Every structure is written in C-alpha cells, then in structure tokens.
Amino acid sequence: MGKYLVPGLLTLLASSSAAAGLFTHGVSVQDLDGIHRMAVHVRMGDTFHAIFIGTTVFNNKAFDAPVPQWAMDHYVSDQVVQIMKLRGRFPAEPLAVADLDLPALYQKSGAILASKEVVGTLLAQARQQGADALLVVEMAPASENAPFYKAGFGLMRRSAFGLTTGCAYAQFTVALFRVDSGKRLAGQWAQPCVNAAEKFTQKASWDQYSAEEQAALEAADKHEVMGKLTLAMQDFKLMKDMPP
C-alpha cells in the first residue's frame, strides 16, 4: 500500500499556508476518547471533469472523461490508512463494503452525508467490523461558493481579458463520526482552486492530452485531494503529534 503515498506528504502535513479554502467544524481530543480503530469510506468517483470558463458564457467549454484506471477512491482510502499508520492516534482500515449495494445507496436522496439512512448503513457496517469511528470522504456538488465546479476532481481554467488562471481541482466534503453514538464529530468542505496558477493547457477532449499530460493531471488531482484531506485530518485532531 505504501507505494502510493504522495511524495512530500509529510512536509505538507506541517504546512499551514495550504489551509486556505477549508471550512470546518472543530473536534477536541476529548471527543476521540474511546476510539481505537477507524473505518474509512471514500466516494470521489472515477470521472475527470475539465471546465474552461471564458469571458462570456459563449466561451465556456467543458468535457468529462472516465478515468477508472486512476482508482481514486481506493487511492484516497489507502492514503488515509497509511497516514494513520504513520502519525495517527489510532489505526484505520477501509470500510468493508462487499456486502453493501453501494450503487443503490448512492441513489438515495442526499447520499452520502446528507442522508441519515445512508450514513446509518455505513455506521452499522463500521460497527460490524469493529471500528469505533468512521471517516467519510464524499465528492461535493457545485455550491454558491464554487458554482462552476463539478463534484469530484478535474481541471479548471479561467480566461478573461488576457488573464488566465487554472488548477487541478478537488471538491469534496469530509466528515468524522463516532460509531457508538452516530454523532458527527467534525465536518469540512474543501474549496477548490485556492491561490491557483496556470499550469495545464486547455484542450477540446481528454484524448488530445498526451499520455505524459494525462499522468501529470492524475498526479496533480491526487495531490490536490490528499493535500486538503490531510489538512482536514489535522483539524480533526486525528494526528497524534497535533496539539489539543
């Protein structure tokens, strides 16, 4: 598993400048009393979203591309397990979902985090496998704060009046629950494209990017997800070397 660990991730853990763009409800170390194991469930999807915003709506372009080979959900889950192994207050493991009908659960209104039924199902599974806490990472749809972005991850570029900015982006919500009470201890929304600079060029479709460019976009999106998620985990006091 460790082979997937993001290079420089431990340096990122110590950085405070990357915290911009995170909206959170805090948690205290006391809230974690009695937690000895944490299950992790990730739903970021397997679709890359390219969004190009021009000076007017007539200049806007976009495309979606399936990227199941990125295995984003597995990657993020694996990263959380590795981070908790290195620096966590307790170990983590992926939520065992083989016996769950995830497509049906995801079709329910509000799924995941806005559905008590879906959260309850995941908590029951976490309890069954002996976990005391559940961390859920879920792609977040467009909002008033980020109206142009699609849920999940991709590439955003804005061009207006000769100025272009862009970034590999990730838009998601993360929440931490106690399994015994079902209480949501903390929640955070990651705002995409904070302090972005132009890096990737605009192309009309996914297949117009070279294999090297596609690999660079994959690495950038994964780094973006894990950068924001690691900061959230810090805020949730999941790191044993973080102050109370």
pLDDT digits (tens, 9 = 90+) for 97-124: 999 999 999 999 999 999 999 999 999 9
Residue 168 lies in a domain: yes
Q: Residue 243: inside a domain, yes or no?
A: no
For residue 83, say if its preceding peptide bond is cis, omega within 30 degrees of 0.
Answer: no
Mean pLDDT of 58-85: 95
Residue from 185, 153, 126 nearest 66 by CA: 153
- The answer as to whether 242 is a domain residue is no
Asked whether residue 12 is assigned to any structural domain, the reply reads: no
| Antiparallel, parallel or unpaired: β 92-94 and 38-43 | parallel
Evaluate whether residue 5 is within a structural domain: no
CB 229 within 8 A of CB 82: no
- Under 8 Å between Cβ of 119 and 178: no
The separation between the first and the last C-alpha atoms of the chain, rounded to the nearest angstrom, is 29
How many structural domains does the chain have?
A: 1
Strands 152-160 and 184-190: unpaired
Q: Residue 131 sits in which domain range?
A: 20-235
Q: Report pTM.
A: 0.85
For the ranges 141-150, 156-165, 190-199, 219-228, the lowest mean pLDDT is seen at 190-199
Q: Is 120 inside a domain boundary?
A: yes
Stretch 217-229: mean pLDDT: 94
In a domain, 191, yes or no: yes
Give me the long-range contacts of 118-122 (CB less than 8 A, separation at least 24): 119/177, 119/182, 120/182, 122/41, 122/95
- Secondary structure (H, E, C), 29-76: HHHHCCCCCEEEEEECCCEEEEEEECCCHHHCEEEEEECHHHCHHHHH
Question: How far is it, in rounded angstroms, from Cα 42 to Cα 120?
Answer: 16
115 falls within a domain: yes
Range name among 23-27, 143-147, 204-208, 237-241 with the lowest pLDDT average? 23-27
Q: What percent of the chain has pLDDT over 70?
A: 81
Closest by Cα among 35, 74, 42 to 185: 35
User: What CATH number is attached to the domain comprising 192?
Assistant: 3.40.50
